[in-house]
Every structure is written in structure tokens, then in C-alpha cells.
Structure 1
Amino acid sequence: MPPVISAVSPSQGPTTGGTTVTVTGTGLTGATAVRFGSTPATSYTVNSATQITALTPPGSVGSAAVTVVSPTGTSNAVSFTYIAAAVPVVTGVTPSSGPTSGAVTVTLTGTGFTGATAVLFAATPATSFTVNSATQITAVTPAGSPGGAPVTVTTPGGTSAVSPTAYFYYAAPPVLLGASPSLGAAAGGTTVTLTGSNLLNPTAVRFGSTPAGSFTVVSSTQITATAPPGTGNTQITVTTPGGTSNPAAFAYVAAPTLTGLNPGSGPTVPGAVITLSGTALSTASAVKVGTAAAGFTVVSDTQITVAVPAGPVGPVSVTVTTEGGTSNSLTYTRVAPPGI
């Protein structure tokens, strides 16, 4: 008896051919041909006596009779419909930017994606892609050069046109050349200027693993950031669509403290020298006696000598300012010279 076909699935496909269809029925063992109209299938495989998979040849719009030929005769016919293949259209790429190293999973939206055979970023094939539906593809970006790469999809219906909405932008990795100042208060709040290259569109500035209190992009070569609270040595990094930068060194400095002032009094005229003792004094940038700036010498992290400026009789506060902030105050008293 000749073979019998009960179904063909799917029952339609593009006129360009290339659709894999499953033919089910009985008596299919030993099939010598599968035809779509009068045209042989591009290829076919007899899976069992009840199933054949075949690849459709190109055809004309409309219905084509599918038949199976075997030594026992030719089967009944089951209809397969050829439809005009739609040219795919890409309307969106999300995310639309990433590093030149590739490996970013992007979602393409549009129409006519069924049967996609290629996804290109400029002239480079996607590392991999999956057709989720006729309107969505997920693809993994290949490595690329800095700049915009048109994204195209190829299906049996053709290749999508390049459009402004179908671009992926490769960003060069950010590079940091330095941070100024490279020291800041442990309490945070220090404004740090980062210099480098490819610093546009940052998504994060971090001091170690802690996000900056805030940051502002000045240009592609400069960012200002507010240091968060921290301790010890850390590293600043900038993250952009191009990746995460090399680190720039930054150190947190403890706030200075004053524990002693000797001598505690002196003349109203300049020339008196006092010794301040305390902690975290090595980065001192200013010493004030009252509101006046005083000359000073850092002896060690725990000692500073200060030349007291002239001033009126009475007590004044003495403070030290370092990279870690301004210290507590101690009192120095100016005394009048003896009368004659």
C-alpha cells in the first residue's frame, strides 16, 4: 500500500523555502522522495514509519501539495501554504551601549524575526542569538570598536534596513590617571577631582566598594566626586557603559586632635613659640591662633611647633587643620608686658 500522510507541521512558510516541516502518517519507511507540488524537498530524513522531517524548497505564494513517494506508490496530498516572506525590521536595541569587549546580552525588538539566520553588529556576527518570537530576539554582542554599530537581522525574507533606532554603541573602557587630592577626611565630604579618559556617561563612582556621595561629569576627561566616609587606604573606580576603570589611590585621614599646648601663655608681641601635641597632625595645612593664621612646623604626627602672631591681651583658641579636618581647640593666653 502507498504511504498515507495525516499532517504537515508547520503548514505554512516563506516563499524563500528553508522551513523545517514534520510530515506524519503511516507507511513512510523507505520513502524515496518528498515533494512540495512538483518540487523535491531540499532535504528530508525518515525518522520512522510514521514521521519524516523535510526542508521546504523555494515556492510561489499559495498552496502546494505535499506528497511522499515510496516503492509502494505515492501518498495522498496534504496542503502546505507558501506566504510572502516579510523583510525584518529592527526598532529597538536594549541596552543600546556596552564595552568594546562585547559579551553584553541585548534585546532586539521589531517585526519579522521568525526564522532569523543571522544577527550582525556592523559586519560582525553576534556571538549567539535566540529568536524569542516574531518581534523579539536576544543576542550577545561580539567585540567591537568604539562608536556606533548598526544592528541588522537576516531572515528568509531578507535583511533589515539600517535605522537610527537599530544601533549599538561600543564604549571604550574608562581610564583614570589620578585623583586630587589623594587624601581626605575619614568623615567623608572631600571633593575629589578625577582625571583620565573615556569618562562620559558614568553609572557609578566608587571609593572601594562604597558609592561616592555624589559626582558630576565635567568632561570626557574629568569627574568631580564627593568622598563618602571611610578609613585607611582605598581605591577609586569609575564605571561607564565601557566597563570599570583602573583604580586610583585614595587614603582616608583621621581627624586631628589636640591634647596639649605648651607654654599656655605668652606676650602680645610676635616671637613666642608654642608646642602643640596631639594625634593625626602630620598633614597639617593650617594653624590658627584666634582668627589669625600662624606659621608652623610639623615635627611629627603628634607634635607641631607654632610661631604665635601678635595679638591683644586675653585668651584665644588654637586649632589645627589637616586633610582629615579641623581639630578641637586649646586655649593660649596673651599677657600684657609688665608696667614701668
Structure 2
Amino acid sequence: MAPTLTSLSPTSGPASGLNNVTLTGTGFVGIVTAVRFGTTATTFTIDSSSQITAIAPPGAGTVQVTVSTGAGTSNGLPYTYAVMPTLTSISPTQGPTTGGTTVTLTGTNFTGATAVRFGATPATAFTVNSSTQITATAPPGTGTVQVTVTNGAGTSNGASFTYVVVPTLSSANPNQGPAAGLNSVTLTGTGFAGTVTAVRFGSTAATFTVDSSSQITAIAPPGTGTVQVTVTTTGGTSNGLPYTYAAVPTLTSISPTQGPTTGGTTVTLTGTGLGGATAVRFGATPATGFTVNSGTQITATAPPGTGAVLVTVTTAGGTSNGLIYTYIAVPTLLSVSPTAGPVAGGTTVTLGGAGLSGATAVTFGATPATSFTVVSGTQITAVAPAGTGIVQITVTTVGGTSNGVAYTYVAVPTIGSPSPAAGPTAGGTSVSIPGAALTTTQSVTFGGVPAAFTVISDMQVTAVTPPRAAGAVNVVVTTSGGSATATGAFTYVAPPEI
């Protein structure tokens, strides 16, 4: 009976031949006279009555393999002479170390492919789509490996495939910004060397630039609340870092609303969205210092300045509305009238100067005025307190304390008996009046009638008696410190009668 063939292994091989092919079947017990690949006989070895090992001869295309014995020739089984595969490209060229990437291989002679390998590791699976395309699933791996295709003719050239690690994020700076977005955020981490396919703020994609394998600059998209920032590469998606969309701050009040041009005033700002403030400005000038007490309050130290300025607060959410703060100049005093008064106080003093509006204090030396009234920005009337000696009057406003103007406390005068003590009713007598504290003498009267006078010294005044009826009258000397009276101290004498 003629032999039969049931299988060949392998069913293909290189065009150059010389590879071993195992033939399985029946009827190999007789004398095997030939094993042919198509019409070409080849060398062979009979392993048993059901198996022959043959050496494939060189050939091309698909041929029928047959076995001949003395009983006849077997049926034929197809054997294909395969051409060595070639790879021209793979896509994508990167994937995560965990594998699972579907990779499309393009080339020639893929029909009959028996293996696809990523380095030394077989693909998890592959499908021969055509003689020029294979899709393969990348196995887990690391680094850069060569992808190859093997068929009966051999193994192709290699194409590089890089295993990319999953990126990690370590910082986002800043980690907050305005709800409108559009601010730059610097992302720092590792594993950015692979192809970065996305940067997301929450679920929203952002535009970005890969600066290096450890840094990305992203433009924050609009958003609200706190979201997670992630980076996706061909290696996978990173861990998330929180990024907060901050509301624009608002200011509702400022206290105090004024301060000196020299700065240094502690100002309390009240509003909303003040947490995380990065700047407080008085006009264009930064506050000397500030403390964020809460999301609704900041205390700031006013810098030097002039005029009225707008105070603003800046946070990651933007810059607030402005509230007016006025720089007040230090007041100046130019005049005081009168310049002296009694030690008992009570004198109403008129102060002239500039920047006197809003005065909070008027002091005579270290003693506050008994009372004062701000008449205008250039005038104040004040009631002198009790005091002694020469003191400096000053005015204090929110702008500071003025220069001082001198005010003299004058003691109550005393006088003795005038000399001479008598004179004619026609007046004209020069009278010397002794005493003490007479320097600021303001008037001398004889019986209530003013007399011309001259201050000789603190202890003497001379006066010229005015006309007066005959009789004894009181002599009164009035100074800034008060009045002194010499009772009945001068006598007017009538001229003799004829």
C-alpha cells in the first residue's frame, strides 16, 4: 500500500533550505525511495514507520512534499519557502513598562510569522493582518529594546521600542491661581523624557511646554475649587498634585484711613478672599510688612507716602478693589497769640499754622490744653492749662506732632507804694511803681483811668498820671499774669484857691 502523509513540521522554511522538516504519516515500513519537495529530491532519515526527518532543499513558493516507496507515492502536503521578513516601522515607538501597548508593525514578508519579540521577550499576543502588517501587544519591559518578527525564513531586522516609566509629580509652583486661569505653573518631577501627551488640571487639558525630563511649564486653564494636576506620557499618568483656583479678593474696610507721610501706621484691612495674600500695596508702594490674620483680615504697616492712595491686596486670585488711605503731613505752627498768660491758666490762645485739620491734641509743654477748637486747617483756639515758665505749644494730628511755639507763664504781679504818692488833679506826674513780675505789664490805671506807662524792669514801672478829681485813688498794674492793686496809694491834690 502506498504511504500517506498527515503532517509537516515546520510547514515553511527559508528559500535556502537545509532546515530539518519532520514528516508524519503511515506506510514508511517499506523501502523509502524518495522524499521530494515539489520535484526536488532531498536527503532524509527514516525515524520510524510513521516518521521521517528530511532536509529541505533550496526552493521558492509553495511546493508539495511527497514520500515514495516501492508501493507508490504518498499524497502531498504543502510546504512554503518563506522570504526573510523586514521591518520598516513600528507605531507607537514607546509604551509603559507595564506593557499592554498595541504596536503596529509595518514591513514585508510577514505571512507565516511565527513570533514577534520585544527584545528577548515574546509579544503578549500578535495578529498577522497581512504580509505587510502585524499588530502586537507589548509585554512588560524596561529601557529600549529591538522589536523583531520571525517566520520560517528567519528573523527580521529590529526596530527600537522604548519602555517609558510612569511620570511622577513632586511640586506645582504656584499651587494656586485665578479662576480665569492663563497663569504659568511650573511642574517638577520625573519621567517627563517620554512623549508627554497631556497635562490636566482636573479633567481639563492645559497647554504646556516640556522644559526638561524633570520640568514642564503649563498654562492653567480656567477653573474653580481645588483640582488635581496630572501629567500623562506614553508611560502612563502621574500622581496628582492639588491646585486651587482662588477667587479675586475684595476689600470692604480699612482702619485707620489716615496716617503720617513717614509711614509706620498699622492698618487693618477687612474683606473676603484675603487668605494667601502675596502683596499689600499703598498706591504703587508695597506695605512695609503685612500679616494675614484670616481669610477676612490683614494687618499691614503703611510705607512712607504722600496724598491719597488706593490700598489693594493681591492673592493668587488677582488684585482686589482699592480703598482710600490718606497721608497726612506733619502740622506746622507759625504763630501764637497771646504769647503769655497767667500761671493759673485759662487764657484763650489763637494758634496759626498749616495742616491743623483733624488735630487730636494741643499741649502746653507736657500738659494738654484745657480745651481746644479746630477753627480751620490753619487756625486753632486753645485754652491754656495752669503752668509755669516758658513752654512749647505743639499740635498733634494723625500726621504727627508739630514744631513748638513759645508760650510764657507769667506770675501774678505785686506792687508797692508809688513814688511820689501824690500829684495835682491835672495829672502829668511821673510816678515810679515798684513791684515784682512787671515785665509783661499791659496797663496801669489811677482810679480806673488808664495812664501812659513804661516798663523799666521786672521790678519797676513808671507811669504818667492822668487827670483826675482830687482824692485818694487805687493804683492798678495789670500784666499777662494778672493784676496788682495798691489801694488808695496815690492822692490827687487840688490846686490852692485864691
On whether the aligned pair clears a TM of 0.5, the verdict is yes
1:186 is aligned with what amino acid? V
Deviation at 1:267, TM superposition (A): 3.4
For the Cα contact (< 8 Å) 1:18–1:156, is it kept in 2? no
Deviation at 1:63, TM superposition (A): 6.3
Q: Which residue pairs with 2:328 in the alignment?
A: 171
For the Cα contact (< 8 Å) 1:284–1:321, is it kept in 2? yes
Higher RCO (C-alpha under 8 Å, 6+ residues apart): 1
CA distance in 1, matches of 2:334, 2:278: 44
1:319 maps to 2:476: yes
2:353 is aligned with what amino acid? G
Q: Secondary structure at the match of 1:286?
A: strand
Q: Which residue pairs with 1:328 in the alignment?
A: 485
CA distance in 1, matches of 2:403, 2:464: 44
Q: Secondary structure at the match of 2:344?
A: coil
Q: Give deviations 1:25-46, integer Å, cap 9, x for gaps.
A: xxxxxx858x97599xxxxxxx
Q: Give deviations 1:99-134, integer Å, cap 9, x for gaps.
A: 111111100011110111111111111111111011
Deviation at 1:268, TM superposition (A): 2.7
For the Cα contact (< 8 Å) 2:249–2:274, is it kept in 1? yes
For the Cα contact (< 8 Å) 2:306–2:326, is it kept in 1? no
Q: Which residue pairs with 2:462 in the alignment?
A: 305
Q: Secondary structure at the match of 1:161?
A: coil
Q: Which residue pairs with 2:320 in the alignment?
A: 160
Q: Give deviations 1:209-232, integer Å, cap 9, x for gaps.
A: 111122222222222222111111
1:307 is aligned with what amino acid? V
Report 1:1-340 matches (<5 A). 32=190, 58=220, 60-61=223-224, 64-65=227-228, 82=244, 85-146=246-307, 148-162=308-322, 166-332=323-489, 333-340=491-498
2:309 is aligned with what amino acid? A
RMSD: 3.7
For the Cα contact (< 8 Å) 1:98–1:171, is it kept in 2? yes
Deviation at 1:299, TM superposition (A): 2.1
CA distance in 2, matches of 1:330, 1:285: 19
Deviation at 1:296, TM superposition (A): 1.9
When residues 334 and 18 of structure 1 are mapped into structure 2, their CA distance, relative to the original with a 3 A threshold, is farther
CA distance in 2, matches of 1:79, 1:297: 93
Unaligned 5+ runs, structure 2:
1-165, 167-175, 192-198, 207-217
Corresponding residue pairs, total: 304
When residues 255 and 62 of structure 1 are mapped into structure 2, their CA distance, relative to the original with a 3 A threshold, is closer
CA distance in 2, matches of 1:111, 1:196: 42
Deviation at 1:311, TM superposition (A): 2.0
Q: Give deviations 1:40-79, integer Å, cap 9, x for gaps.
A: xxxxxxxxxxxxxxxx9956436645889xxxx999x789
For the Cα contact (< 8 Å) 1:264–1:331, is it kept in 2? no
Q: Give deviations 1:278-316, integer Å, cap 9, x for gaps.
A: 101122111011121112222221112222222223332
CA distance in 2, matches of 1:259, 1:128: 67
Q: Which residue pairs with 1:52 in the alignment?
A: none
Deviation at 1:256, TM superposition (A): 0.8
1:161 is aligned with what amino acid? N
When residues 226 and 311 of structure 1 are mapped into structure 2, their CA distance, relative to the original with a 3 A threshold, is same
CA distance in 2, matches of 1:14, 1:114: 13
Q: After the TM superposition, which of the residue ranges 249-258 and 103-112 deviates more from structure 2? A: 249-258
Deviation at 1:260, TM superposition (A): 2.5
Q: After the TM superposition, which of the residue ranges 224-233 and 201-210 deviates more from structure 2? A: 224-233
Q: Percent identity?
A: 53
CA distance in 2, matches of 1:290, 1:182: 28
For the Cα contact (< 8 Å) 1:126–1:141, is it kept in 2? yes
TM-score normalised by structure 1 residue count: 0.76
CA distance in 1, matches of 2:184, 2:486: 85
Deviation at 1:200, TM superposition (A): 1.1
Unaligned 5+ runs, structure 1:
3-11, 20-30, 40-55
2:364 is aligned with what amino acid? F
Q: Give deviations 1:312-334, integer Å, cap 9, x for gaps.
A: 23332111011212123432333
2:403 is aligned with what amino acid? N
When residues 274 and 151 of structure 1 are mapped into structure 2, their CA distance, relative to the original with a 3 A threshold, is same
Deviation at 1:174, TM superposition (A): 0.8
CA distance in 1, matches of 2:263, 2:252: 21
